[in-house]
Structure 1
Amino acid sequence: MSETAKLTVGQAIRAAAERLASSSDTARLDAEVLMAHALGVSRSDLLLRHLGDSAPDGFAALVERRAGHEPVAYIVGSQDFFGMPLRVSDAVLIPRGDSEVLVETARLRGGSARRVLDCGTGSGALLLAVLAGLPEARGVGIDRSARALAVAAGNAAALGLGGRSAFLERDWTRAGWRAGLGWFDLVLANPPYVEEAAALDPSVRAHEPAGALFAGAEGLDDYRVLVPELPALLAPGGTALVEIGASQAEAVRAIAAGAGLDSRLHRDLGGRARVLELRQSGE
């Protein structure tokens, strides 16, 4: 019997929190989530009913993975976003609460939308959250990663949204990527926007997909390619919502203006610039 198995669940969680304290700012929470996963129960059920049980043998291995900076979401294989449980893997970025302002704006602005496009869909988080709030809409998610698209399609099926969504392999850095897509009432985009030299937590730099994070020395390379293509994707009266880095609003606004798009800035709950709402000039 392993040493961990000799401990109760509560004792093992305390020991794991101590082990993780030097590598995580949320050590106790991490330990509880990992234990709940190891037991196959919810975190609330764990805290209410299982603290006196014997700790499972597999828990120690999960803790060591987290001690090596692997994100908890990848270890347990899921992440909640906008109230939805989503499967995630190292093929996709982990959905973050900062992106919820884009979903909220899309639901507010896109009430009459019938076609929605998500550029760089990853796990499908943005598209699926928007479709869940716009029951008359159908959506297309594009990504250059076949592995990411498989994750997104699986999430759509699990959430009962598979019939209203399609996922296509497209790369906006390659000629002809828009062919056959048509026009959309609402375009969502969370492109790579991190500067290559940015200081990042090891759990991000070492584990999340670099191709979905980094966009050149200024973090603007993908905006320079994608934003000028948006007018050709927008139906008359359509809106594009583009997530940006906190210091990139003016630079991306200038790119949008050069493409004939007016912009309106939306901030996240922390007051940081987060989303640019783009429309054809004069609309």
Structure 2
Amino acid sequence: MPDDAMTDRVRLRPLIVAAAERLAAAGVASPLPDAETLAAHVLGTERMRLALVPMVEQADADRFARLVDQRAARIPLQHLTGTAAMGEIDLAVGPGVFVPRPETELLFAWALAFLETLPHDHEPVVVDLCTGSGALALAIAHARPDAAVHAVELDSDALTWARRNADARIADGDTPITLYADDVTDPALLTELTGRVDLLVANPPYIPDAAVLDPEVADHDPHRALFGGPDGLDIIRAMVPTITRLLRPGGATGIEHDDTNGSGAATLLAAAGFTDIVEHPDLAGKPRFVVGTKPGTP
């Protein structure tokens, strides 16, 4: 006969398999990884260590089931766990702020690689436009504590999340970033940094207005952070003159865009006189971000 303690425990793997089947039926794109992530969240462990937890308490199983119900209703996974990753850091996210996507990790990696090419004769100056949760700015500041990182966000709800994340990174010992409540389309943006910026990254609203989106995005991400006009380029188009003004000669920009408007974003940079323009794909091979260099000698 099992002892009383065992009667309140259930096998974890069958719960995860059943949850994945439920999520797949609900149209979730990554049902098994999501089920495993939710289980790891409930148990306070890493997803890759779930195999070391064969049995769970019934209370944990019940909490897991409730989270699976919410995910099946297409509530974003990151809203349920409360976090999203960028680089080596985790960010707090939830209603009111755009959830960072894995695709943006590629822009982040490019940004770090570019910073490595800079001469060591001055403190690198980095600007992140449309920072949202602060993902790119804070990940860069964590990886490059020698950089002066400035981040701009207009939406008050998103800025609250960015400040929360910035405070958390300071508590963990990271170099503070400078946050601005401002409009990235304002021609007078950050005039004090004119001609001083080495690197400018942006993940602006870029989805064409008529696009059909998954429920996680359409129902939960702020629309202000998503849509960029009929062709998705309205915000990028308005930012390019400011990007040109802010960058020092030899400085570079990387701008994330919709997979339908990459050539348009590249054309905007070319028209502004940028050189070394390269269109980068995401992990699915779709156009995802464009980079360019301001002409001149650093």
Task: Work out whether the TM-score is over 0.5.
Answer: yes
Within 1, Cα distance between the matches of 2:173 and 2:288? 27
Unpaired runs of at least 5, structure 2: 1-7
Deviates more, 1:198-207 or 1:160-169: 160-169
Aligned-residue identity in percent: 34
Amino acid at match of 1:32: E
Within 2, Cα distance between the matches of 1:51 and 1:93? 35
Give 1:28's aligned residue.
Answer: 32
Within 1, Cα distance between the matches of 2:59 and 2:15? 6
Deviations 1:214-270 (A, max 9, x none): 111111111111112211111232211111222323212222233332351142344
Give 1:16's aligned residue.
Answer: 19
TM normalised by structure 2 equals 0.83
Within 2, Cα distance between the matches of 1:277 and 1:15? 44
Deviations 1:151-175 (A, max 9, x none): 2233334334653311111112346
Q: 3-state DSSP class of the match of 1:227?
A: helix
Q: CA RMSD in A?
A: 2.4
Give 1:46's aligned residue.
Answer: 50
The aligned length equals: 279
Distance 1:6 1:135, change over 3 A: closer
Within 2, Cα distance between the matches of 1:275 and 1:214? 16
Give 2:285's aligned residue.
Answer: 271
Within 2, Cα distance between the matches of 1:187 and 1:73? 27
Give 1:253's aligned residue.
Answer: 266
Residue pair 1:260, 1:280 contacting (<8 A) in 2 also: yes
TM normalised by structure 1 equals 0.87
Amino acid at match of 1:202: P
Question: Quick check: 1:60 aligned with 2:65?
Answer: yes
Unpaired runs of at least 5, structure 1: none
Q: 3-state DSSP class of the match of 1:142?
A: strand
Give 2:179's aligned residue.
Answer: 167
Deviates more, 1:233-242 or 1:174-183: 174-183
Residue pair 1:8, 1:53 contacting (<8 A) in 2 also: no
Amino acid at match of 1:280: K
Deviates more, 1:273-282 or 1:226-235: 273-282
